[in-house]
Amino acid sequence: MNFIFISPNFPHTYWQFCDRLRDDGINVLGIGDAPYDGLEAPLKAALTEYYRVDSLEDYGQVYRAVAFFAFKYGRIDWIESMNEYWLEQDARLRTDFNVTTGIRADRIGFIKEKALMKRLYLEAGIPTARQHVVTSREAGYAFVGEVGYPVIVKPNVGVGATNTWKLTCDAELEAFYDNPPAAAYVMEEFIEGDICSYDAILDSGCEPLFESMTVWPPVMDIVNRDLDLMYYTCPEVPEGLRALGRRTVKAFGVDRRFVHLEFFRLTKPRKGLGGVGDFVALEVNMRPAGGYTPDMMDFAHSTDVYRIYADMVAFDARRLPEPSEHFYCVYASRKDGHRYARSHEEIMARYGADMVMQEEMPPMNWPQMGRYMYTARLRSFEEVQAFIAFVQESGL
């Protein structure tokens, strides 16, 4: 079996996907724009061959790389990047090379475009916030008249919370329309709730081999208000989220993937959507959660999601046993320009025995993920709260 991994060096922990695939007897072929000498040793060891292109943005170059591998190694069975940014290109490559294990070009719109996502939610009867595709000022006022302030405006196609705003009054709505973005935008009713993700690895029958829940803050506020990021993976998945997550993947018709689906857990009742504690669909992401979240799932569930994914590819089954111990795994980061009450040394002295990761993040992640992160495995939610407060307490 030939598996092409696009940009296998980013995030740098993704060498583990390649390593586990190779362990399962799969021929792993890398395509990226990083020099081969700059790849980490474990990634080099996992790859049968690496093809460097000048730019992954240049479809012609990437196409020729895939064609070279197909000529040299035979039929390509999988093409994946595990990265939101390259999902559309992945789908185009699968279509051009007749790779059937994954989303192809005719379905990518439902995965990338928020307006098309909304249509599938509604058709499947999955509760979701009302949405309006931004057109005229008058249509915007009509939508606000229906759902009330505040509303969220965000790109129809976008990653994370980039270029996303909350509009709370007519003046802010007017300012938005006075300088409209060039890209297509959607407007949604504002939902008060926690953001909870349903993360799963699916087999060929769209059945989950692994499930997890992570609780996130509003990333829009982290970016726009320059706040510190914290989030945590939970020991268990609530039945309400599990049921909606499974319905969602079937509604979108996806299989043989690692998926990251976002939901609101209502903290205030919302007419037509549910009461406190109910889950409401936000958006789908047909790739693993970002950053080190897959590793946090490993720590929370005493497992190896990279192995579970590789076994799905190789055998369409889960071979790792279900673990007996589950934990909270919590991430807390700190940013440049903020003053903190505790030093690095104090944090390590207090939580060193519980710390599973701590390092400086790549500069491109600083606005969302913070410059320096601490990740700990803990037993209770109260310990999670205490850890976050200790790491991020403001200094005078």
Structure confidence by residue, pLDDT tens digits, 157-212: 865 555 888 999 999 999 999 998 888 999 999 999 999 999 999 999 999 999 99
CATH of domain 130-189: 3.30.1490.20
Q: CA-to-CA distance for 322 and 331, rounded, in angstroms?
A: 24
For the whole model, what pTM was predicted? 0.93
CATH of domain 2-106: 3.40.50.20
Beta bridge partners of 274: 270
Q: CA-to-CA distance for 391 and 5, rounded, in angstroms?
A: 36
Q: Please state, for a pLDDT cut of 70, what percent of the chain lies above it.
A: 98
Residue spans in the chain of domains classed CATH 3.30.1490.20 = 130-189
How far is the CA of 34 from the CAs of 51, 70, 269, in angstroms?
Answer: 10, 21, 49
Q: CA-to-CA distance for 84 and 161, rounded, in angstroms?
A: 13
Q: CA-to-CA distance for 144 and 189, rounded, in angstroms?
A: 8
Which residues of the chain are modeled with pLDDT < 50? none
DSSP string, 78-137: EEE---GGGHHHHHHHHHHTT--SS--TTTHHHHH-HHHHHHHHHHTT--B--EEE---H
Residue spans in the chain of domains classed CATH 3.30.470.20 = 193-392
Contact 186, 115 (CB under 8 A): yes
Per-residue pLDDT at 334:
96
CATH of domain 193-392: 3.30.470.20
SS3 label, residue 30:
strand
Contact 294, 201 (CB under 8 A): no
> Tokens for 216?
């996130």
Going by C-alpha positions, the residue among 107, 121, 106, 116 that lies closest to residue 248 is 121
Surface-to-core class of residue 68, CB atoms within 10 Å of its CB (0-12 exposed, 13-18 middle, 19+ buried)? middle
Average pLDDT, the chain: 94
Per-residue pLDDT at 391:
98
Give the pLDDT confidence of 281-336 residue by residue, as tens digits.
Answer: 998 999 999 889 999 999 999 999 999 999 999 999 999 999 999 999 999 999 99
